[in-house]
Structure 1
């Protein structure tokens, strides 16, 4: 970490953590790190809060490819993106003192709406019915028409996002070393007239998923990019594919992805 000395601290401005953030400033300065107020000048971006704060930090700093992201938990427990606890300064000091530190890379997905608006997601992209009515989407894998979905919506998750919203709808947990995306249905309608796969499926990172929204009055869907809502009217087509952008985080001993999964769910 010797060539990374400029730190930017991202917080959600919660009053109960500001005192702890001041302690982090002092710790960083003690080990000769430069605290910057502009994230564009940072090569280490630290989120203070929970996984939601980490997702916001990544989005607000535009998925920086030349920066190392680190999450510090304020809840007393570690999580999927928070490798440090705010009260465990010893662990932070050990990481700061290491001249060479391993870096973990998390894949992201790129989403394009109607060939106009594009954005990235670290966890997932979701699209749901905006009214009390089933949602109809023609689903294409590359150029193949795979199915016509009718139901509440769909979730397209990254491997790390597979432990979040995707898991709550019985999607699979996927190793982030696999460059892929996962598609999970929300309350699909399956009967003699309508038929979908009815289970989540995983696509190679070389595939492109295309969702064509059937314009039957549900043309203002509710869309989410990680933990933010996206407001776009008259959506006709959404394209999703694995991005060449990756999020770099600190890789600590005894804190692999699967150790995090075990700690969080077992």
Structure 2
């Protein structure tokens, strides 16, 4: 497979793990793949670990559009992003070499804070109170006021992010082939003053979601981007939309997203 022979391994520098990886490094080189030390030089970025490590690999390497991402899990790990484990590494190399693989594309969301700072997420963005007090937000869809939320926070998930934090608060699991956003509540209050939908809702890829933080002493929320938390001072508004970017991953044949959902949860 031309121009896809440079591999960068992303993993935590653990001595025991590195010993386990040494035979894989040798196997990759025997199959005419080149191991590179910089992710910028790679055509394939391979994370070693579960979904958390995969998310970090994508984030730390800049959500690259010109390479393939793939994940290797260890024997005791599950991964909805990771099709391969350390035991079938040779099978993955064989597929890459002889083009028997399939490529899966996962949508990315763009997050803008205070109309200035921009971030990208593959899983979800969450906005949560950092003090023992509920947070209040006006929720706008395409600049039209939808509801006034008060509670612990909100989660805005991609289709692939719908199986993580979002699912734990009774959100739906969404097929990743549907480009959309899902908004889920964290412990919302519903009374005569504050009224929310009370359930998750899904927005089409062309929609824009805006959250205006009501400045009532809780204007320092934690913004969670995938599995990283950012404490940004004086947050006034957050805008979330679906990016034009997609993350391309290597997929085993006959191993759909729903096959992995079934293995993980059922």
**Structure 2 length-normalised TM:** 0.97
Match of 1:76 in 2: 76
Residues of 1 paired with 2:52 and 2:121: CA distance?
13
Aligned counterparts, 1:1-266, within 5 A: 1-99=1-99, 101-266=101-266
Post-superposition Cα deviations, 1:72-106, rounded to whole Å, max 9, x if no partner, equal 00143442011111122342243233235321000
Residues of 1 paired with 2:230 and 2:239: CA distance?
15
Post-superposition Cα deviations, 1:126-145, rounded to whole Å, max 9, x if no partner, equal 00001100110000001110
Post-superposition Cα deviations, 1:150-205, rounded to whole Å, max 9, x if no partner, equal 00000000000000000000000000110101000000001233210000000000
Do 2:136 and 2:148's aligned partners in 1 also have CA atoms closer than 8 Å?
A: yes
Residues of 2 paired with 1:83 and 1:20: CA distance?
19
Deviation of 1:241 after TM superposition, in Å, equals 0.2
Give unpaired runs (5+ residues) of structure 2. Answer: none
**Where does structure 1 differ by over 4 angstroms across 4 or more consecutive aligned residues?**
none
Residues of 2 paired with 1:93 and 1:103: CA distance?
14
Deviates more, 1:43-52 or 1:185-194: 185-194
Deviation of 1:208 after TM superposition, in Å, equals 0.3
Do 1:182 and 1:201's aligned partners in 2 also have CA atoms closer than 8 Å?
A: yes
Residues of 1 paired with 2:259 and 2:2: CA distance?
27
Do 1:78 and 1:85's aligned partners in 2 also have CA atoms closer than 8 Å?
A: no
Do 1:2 and 1:99's aligned partners in 2 also have CA atoms closer than 8 Å?
A: no
What SS does structure 1 have at the residue aligned with 2:29? helix
Residues of 2 paired with 1:205 and 1:135: CA distance?
27
**Structure 1 length-normalised TM:** 0.97
Do 1:129 and 1:152's aligned partners in 2 also have CA atoms closer than 8 Å?
A: yes
Do 1:55 and 1:122's aligned partners in 2 also have CA atoms closer than 8 Å?
A: yes
Cα distance change on mapping 1:75 and 1:215 into 2, 3 Å = farther
Do 2:101 and 2:253's aligned partners in 1 also have CA atoms closer than 8 Å?
A: no
Residues of 2 paired with 1:219 and 1:192: CA distance?
23
Do 2:114 and 2:238's aligned partners in 1 also have CA atoms closer than 8 Å?
A: yes
Do 1:45 and 1:68's aligned partners in 2 also have CA atoms closer than 8 Å?
A: yes
Give unpaired runs (5+ residues) of structure 1. Answer: none
What SS does structure 2 have at the residue aligned with 1:63? coil
Do 1:31 and 1:96's aligned partners in 2 also have CA atoms closer than 8 Å?
A: no
